[in-house]
Amino acid sequence: MVSPNAAEREGPRKPRLRDEAAGPELDALIRLLAEAMDCPLAMLSLAEPDRLVPWASIGFRGPEMPGQGAFCGMALRGGGLLAVEEARAHPDFRDHPMVVAPDGIRFYMGIPLVVDGWTLGVLCALDRRPRPAGLRERETMERFALVAQSLLHAQAQQARLREVLAALRENGVQLRRQNRLFQQAAAMARLGAWELDLRNGEIYCSEVVHRLHDLPSGTPLSLAGALQFYPEHERSRIGAVMERTVKGGAPLDFEADFVSARGRRRRVRTRGEVETEQGKPVRVLGIMHDVTESWQMMERLRQLAHTDSLTGLGNRAALFERLEALRAAPPGHEAALLVLDLDGFQDLNDRHGHQEGDRVLNGVAQRLRRIAGEAGFVARTGSDEFALLMRDPGSVAAIRETAQRLVAALQARLPGEEAWRPLSASIGVARWPSDSATPLGLLRQADMALSGGRRQGKARITLFSPAIASRFQERRVAIDHVQRALSEDRLRPFYQPKMRLADGRLAGFEALVRVLEPDGTVSGPAQFWPALQEPGTAELIGVRMLGAITRDLALWRQEGLPATRIGLNVAEADMLSEGLAERVLERLHSHGLPPDALEIEVTETVFLGAHRPAMTHVLQRLYKAGLRIALDDFGTGYASLVHLRNFPIHALKIDKSFIDEVEQAGGSRLIVEMLIQLAHGLGLEVVAEGVETGGQHRLLRALGCDVGQGHHYGMALGAEAARAMLAGQRDVPPPAPG
């Protein structure tokens, strides 16, 4: 070990922290960083000569990272903040094992930590999804880096103290000089030594301890007198800790508020150990450390981590803290949680820009604060999501009245406000403790109520009920059912024939999803319909169906069967999934299939709402590549003739609800006839869905409908049965001319 006098001659050396524990302060900092950045992973790594060593982390348990080639290595080499919004698109990281893994790193932001001129490590936040690295995220990371550097500086000071003390033990010849170095280091770290004599209650203190108390050097202190420097609410706790130390020999360790003789408020951490003689405790030896600055920084960071930077409201973490506090409420107290989701906000943001969107969100926050008043707590919990927690809200009618006031406030302009875009919102409500007595349960049930209401339409106020919980349980069962079928390869396309009405020949098939059950039966969508409404599951189904359909088409063509076309329903979730058009085209190309072998069937909902531009772009891409596009279930919901004119469509499918009544003279027959004429005028093919009788078939043929589909022509068939039907077409002669 280098002796203190040698260290003094050499000047400051790079602190070595590898052998130190990170400590609770740094652990807390990493947790707060993850919350503030909304990232599942955060880490502080120490820089060694040839590598980076994870020192404090959350959500990350990887091996030591090499200094070259990894994210933090590049941050170190760059010497400043490094932001990677999409690692799979970054030339330096797209092939990195941490990125290409199924749940690999997609987003990274890191910054080197410099203390006394030495780069000691890197602080970073990581995510498994790509995301923008905006000004707010960069400023947040820089603030946390300042606090981390302060904590590392304190750790380095303490490490230096331990080195000096070790040198003192080794080299007692220069005791006076070493003592001076020790005093200087202790003063710099604001860390003083003390000794409590348990026989007389007197405390002997170093100079630093007297300065922390704002007492003249040498002022006598007793245990009872020392306790008076702590606020009253702290004294009983400290006394209990001290008693456990003296009686049980446990190490003394506490952190507390502290008020000096001059009234200065500080935060101190005190540690000590009992010394015994002949088995009896006689004194406690310890240190007192002024941690005010790091504690204040942590408090400011905690505030930042619990505050929405745009609106100044609490965030999701702050809301959860308030929900946790409900557990301590006296019996008989109640609360209501209202979660609010703005209707159509994403569309507004896309059309008018983020600046206008931010102005609207601040306006919403202002209105919620006014209604919440002193008794309520308001938080922004998502991009366009807010929550209001009300203590003792009164009756169900009173809660509903508050929700209605919230909805009305979003419509009205506030006094002095130049302009306001009227908004609508959907609200879900759950009550504590009658609906749930746990924070997560209350939040989950309010979200259930919100989602249940939104399925019925916009601007709904929905209170949680057992019926809503039952529907969500059915949804969960359906999703589990489908996901098990996917994992066990039991999901199959069944093919429903589509027949040309003019000549009775097979026009193609529509692929319908089916599940092969373990007992040999086959389940249709009626048994798992809620799973088809869940975006993640719907996307997985779409990928599996596409693979199976193109595989069957390729096999049939290899066998020399007549070329045919298969229609595939594409849900909104599929349309929004990354790279749908490329995935479809790649599957067709890999099997040697022409683009028009596949027909993409979409409903009118893809042309509505905030995601219309993105979904229209996907359809245009497929249309131009040669795939056919069919508009499914036309005539239901928000049907609009504009869709037929403005969007890339080859075929129009008339909904079964019109075909059911087409044989009756009246509205349905007139609508069907009009739609056929209109579609033909626009150059579109017409397909009638749900044809079940010969009468319907004959009438539709007479009206000029091109294709029919339904039980009249056959049930949905497994791949082998569909193949046999297609093979039968090979031997059917074409119809005679005329």
pLDDT digits (tens, 9 = 90+) for 227-246: 999 999 899 899 889 888 88
Q: Enumerate residues 6+ apart whose C-beta is below 8 A from 301.
A: 29, 32, 36, 143, 144, 147
Percentage of residues in the chain having pLDDT higher than 90: 36
In this structure, are residues 88 and 55 in contact, taking their beta carbons and an 8 Å threshold?
no
Q: Could you write out the DSSP letters of every residue in 447-502?
A: HHHHHHHHTT-SS-EEE--HHHHHHHHHHHHHHHHHHHHHHTT-EEEEEEEEEETT
For the stretch 361-416, pLDDT in tens is: 999 999 999 998 877 999 998 888 999 999 889 899 999 999 999 998 988 877 76
Q: Does residue 170 surpass a pLDDT of 60?
A: no
pLDDT for position 5: 35
Give me the phi and psi of 380, to 5 degrees please.
-100, 115
Question: Could you give the CA distance from residue 32 to residue 276 in angstroms, rounded to a whole number?
Answer: 41
Residue 27 to residue 421: CA distance in whole angstroms: 44
User: Has this prediction a pTM greater than 0.75?
Assistant: no
CA-nearest of 498, 560, 490, 561 to 528 is 490
As a whole number of angstroms, the distance between CA 277 and CA 283 comes to 9
- Integer Cα distance of 508 and 549 in angstroms: 13
Beta-bridge mates of residue 569: 601
Portion of the chain with pLDDT greater than 70, in percent: 87
12 vs 360, residue with greater confidence? 360
How open is the CA angle 727-733-738, to the nearest 5 degrees? 140
Instruction: Give pLDDT tens digits for 279-306.
Output: 888 888 888 888 888 788 777 777 777 8
Closest CA to 140 of 70, 232, 46, 35: 35
Query: Distances in Å between the alpha carbon of 666 and those of 127, 133, 573, 700?
Result: 59, 60, 37, 15
Q: What domains, with CATH codes, occur in the chain?
A: 7-167 (3.30.450.40), 190-295 (3.30.450.20), 316-464 (3.30.70.270), 476-727 (3.20.20.450)
pLDDT at 116 over 90: no
Lowest mean pLDDT of 89-93, 152-156, 246-250, 396-400, name the range: 152-156
| Maximum Cα interatomic distance, the chain, rounded to a whole number of Å | 121
Res. 328: pLDDT tops 90: no
Whole-number Cα distances in Å, 651 to 195, 647, 655: 90, 11, 13
Rounded CA-CA distance 69/77 in Å is 10
pLDDT at 175 over 70: no
- Structure token digits, residue 303: 């505030």
